Chain A
């Protein structure tokens, strides 16, 4: 549906250039906001660009929208080429207002001088004369979309007199009214408070799945990404570092950055000392760990083992010999989080965070045993 190939977008690093006048070439002064990004989005799917602030998500999205002009690459929606700089062929850059896509902006960008109705009607009213619907059809279409978004009763209200959640739905209604082939969303929930964000997240998912509209979603919030997406691309410094289904990304991060960014994790560094089929043995400064991995790494490779807090089982009794991977340590602190309880356990040089049922609460200072299921430990190559 959406195909992006080798997208590159740089900005003038003006400020840097001025401050550091010794920068030897103009090349150095450029900021690679998006550096060779490629991905496809299947029909009807919600695809998320996830990454920390400044990693190039917005720039990628705005390039698809036609609001930024990429340096090179191709962007295709369906069988329509929206942007292309392929050498040899003619370069293409369809202006934003002729791409016919829908977009929800971070600020919602609701026009304050128009009513709710006029905001939604605007995309239909500005169509080329030949394609434009009559007044009556426009009105019907707008009301239909407003009804889907449960805003019909507010149609005549001034657009600024809406609550945050209503504004978000209005922005969505306006993006959807032209029935675009592709919907672009730039952190549409980040302006809302936590409670509302959660309920609107499911609302958004419902609308997207019901209409089956192909979407590209930008966020820096991993929980949002995991909850909404069919597929996630994790970005860093203008690159996609991992692309996959939410579960893959959470359970099998391919580098420390992804493991750190998605959820919390403990990291233990070590060295591969034995390998038997998929079963690896890793030597660390505080003991050996056995774990399963489909990766093929030679003996002696430096690795990092990612241990999710919920994988660590805390117990005051030892079962050494019965199960692999038991480490002895001391509880340093604990924190009650309502639906879970965290302990921080000191093991030799490491401090490991555990997460478990609040019914298990252990005094700081107590000696405990930490057990780790080899199937749930993740081997991460050193970057």
Chain B
């Protein structure tokens, strides 16, 4: 008895020790975060596939037959590709040209570039599209009214594929601009200078050296833009449906809005769109990886003297101003103008005389408007905070831990990148319609949708800043006696905070304007701002909508400014 007890208690001690080791904050936090990331990424996909291929009788391809048996499906696929490729090419040409002008030449008005690349980010796609309807609709467009005396009525028609390409391409161009500015900046200028010294002209240098070296960045940008346009919902829904021009996203929306909604057919379309997006992202990853083989970043490259445009300088200056007017001033002006009118009309002495703030006053009376504003704020703040907290730990797992399978966490967190917003909305409704937990029909389903959609961006921000922190900073804390949690909280988090804050701002902004997932998941009482604007557009309440849009843009601007101020304060303590 007494001889046996030490062995027994030793075994019990070992088990207890094992449990205690598993119960540390480190293990619990890591398991919870990795589990959440996997859950958010995989469960919607699983249910989407399940809901598409299985009905009450088991496996079926009925959804596919109904979705792709429609005679107009060829048109739909054609439109989708035309729209996506057209928008990508437009945004690429405009964005790359502007980036080159900005980085490598002495073009005037460089200050406008910053505004032109940041402001469109805070004009939600739906407002941007509506603004262009106000500008270039054949019946009521201000531009058409302005040129009517010369070219006759309805010269511009925004409700065509060309109109869709124009709006989407312009809205995407600032993203290409930012990508290409980074590519041009990271290129070693001595590569171009040595070509110049070999006697090549500026144009030859651009064509023979600059372009080949930035080709990986360009190809990646094209593919990313194609995928984003494929996934775009606002533009095809508002501009295309009017004339029966369907693309994947608007078709899915249409199928779900018909009575009775055919979930399986919508799922089949969603799977098709998912496959297209997956192909695009895969190719762009492959290109991106092979591009790294000729890394041109040298780190100590000084900025070369900018190329002098000479007599082209005023022309290019004019182009920049025009671009600024098209992307920033025009849309914002038309929204502001409309928001002051009693009913929508072209500018005239009469129109200006009738201006008032009535629409804004009315916003306070619409209880929906205040609820939507509150919901949008709560969702933006909530999803940004949740995502960045999760991804801070996720990035640690991926970059620093040696846990086997850590790369899975990375891959899972990037899965939502290929899921179009509308498809995610559909997939989540598949999940939570069946779930016994009452989430469907509450605001939490929107929170889950936003967290899922923006997880990849949060991960990218967190991983990037994790890579910038030398592992020795963390190890020296460990050697100093700090536990994992102490190291994370006192060394890693403060050092990560600028990157986490940048990610937080980005997610706040994009979730504040989210429409394509929300439109399938909201329920009355849980509207967000973009949904409300969409509804008002459908009801023809243009002037109130414009006022709401102005409020939305202003709120976003204020949020971004506060966040940047906060960020500057954090940044200040860094150096």
Contact = CB atoms under 8 A, between A and B. Distances in A.
Interface of A: 65-67, 95-103, 105-107, 109, 111-113, 122-123, 126-127, 158, 160, 171, 174-175, 178, 184
Given A67-B475, A126-B490, A174-B476, A109 B482 contact: no
Which of B480, B481, B487 has the most chain A CB atoms inside 10 A of its CB? B480
B573 A105 contact: no
A-B residue pairs, 5 tightest by C-beta: A123-B480, A109-B472, A109-B476, A126-B482, A105-B472
25 contacts: A66-B478, A67-B475, A67-B478, A67-B479, A97-B479, A97-B481, A97-B484, A99-B479, A102-B479, A103-B475, A106-B472, A109-B476, A111-B495, A112-B495, A113-B494, A113-B495, A122-B477, A122-B482, A126-B477, A126-B483, A158-B573, A160-B574, A171-B476, A174-B480, A178-B481
Contacts of B478: 66-67, 95-97
Contacts of A160: 574-575
Given A105-B475, A109-B476, A111-B473, 18 more contacts: A65-B475, A97-B478, A97-B484, A101-B479, A102-B479, A106-B472, A109-B472, A111-B476, A111-B477, A111-B495, A113-B495, A113-B574, A122-B482, A123-B482, A126-B481, A160-B574, A160-B575, A178-B480
Nearest to A122: B480
A95 B477 CA distance: 12
B491 interface: yes
B9 interface: no
B479 A111 contact: no
Contact of A97 (B472, B483, B491, B575): B483
A106 B475 CA distance: 12
A113 B465 CA distance: 15
A188 to B, nearest CB: 12
Contact of B470 (A109, A122, A171): A109
A105 B472 CA distance: 7
B486 interface: yes
A96 B483 contact: no
Contact-residue bracket for chain B: 20 to 34
Contact of B486 (A99, A126, A175): A126
Which of A97, A99, A112, A160 has the most chain B CB atoms inside 10 A of its CB? A97
Contacts of A95: 478
A96 B479 contact: yes
Contacts of B470: 107, 109
Nearest to A96: B478
Contact of A100 (B475, B481, B486): B481
Contacts of A96: 475, 478-479
Which of B478, B483, B494 has the most chain A CB atoms inside 10 A of its CB? B478
Nearest to A99: B479
A98 B482 CA distance: 8
Interface string B383-421: 000000000000000000000000000000000000000
Contact of A127 (B475, B479, B481, B484): B481
A97 B483 CA distance: 6
Contacts of B494: 113
Contacts of B476: 103, 105, 109, 111, 171, 174
Contacts of B495: 111-113
A291 to B, nearest CB: 47
A113 B490 CA distance: 9
- Label chain A's interface by main secondary structure: loop
Contacts of A174: 476, 480
Which of B478, B481, B482 has the most chain A CB atoms inside 10 A of its CB? B481
Contacts of A98: 481
B27 to A, nearest CB: 13
Nearest to A128: B481
A178 B479 CA distance: 11
A67 B478 CA distance: 8
B475 A109 contact: yes
Contacts of B483: 97, 126
A106 B491 CA distance: 18
A321 to B, nearest CB: 62
Nearest to B480: A123
Which of B472, B476, B482 has the most chain A CB atoms inside 10 A of its CB? B476
A127 B494 CA distance: 20
A127 B482 CA distance: 7
Contacts of B477: 111, 122, 126
A67 B480 CA distance: 12
A109 to B, nearest CB: 4
Contacts of B479: 65-67, 96-97, 99, 101-103, 175, 184
A112 B574 contact: yes
Contacts of A100: 481
Interface in B477-505: 477-484, 486-487, 490-491, 494-495
A106 B487 CA distance: 19
Contacts of A102: 479
A67 B474 CA distance: 11
A122 B487 CA distance: 10
Contacts of A97: 478-484, 487
Contacts of A112: 495, 574
Contacts of B481: 97-98, 100, 123, 126-127, 178
A67 B400 CA distance: 12
Contact of A107 (B472, B482, B574, B575): B472
Contacts of A123: 480-482
A99 B479 CA distance: 7
Which of A96, A127, A160, A175 has the most chain B CB atoms inside 10 A of its CB? A96
A181 to B, nearest CB: 13
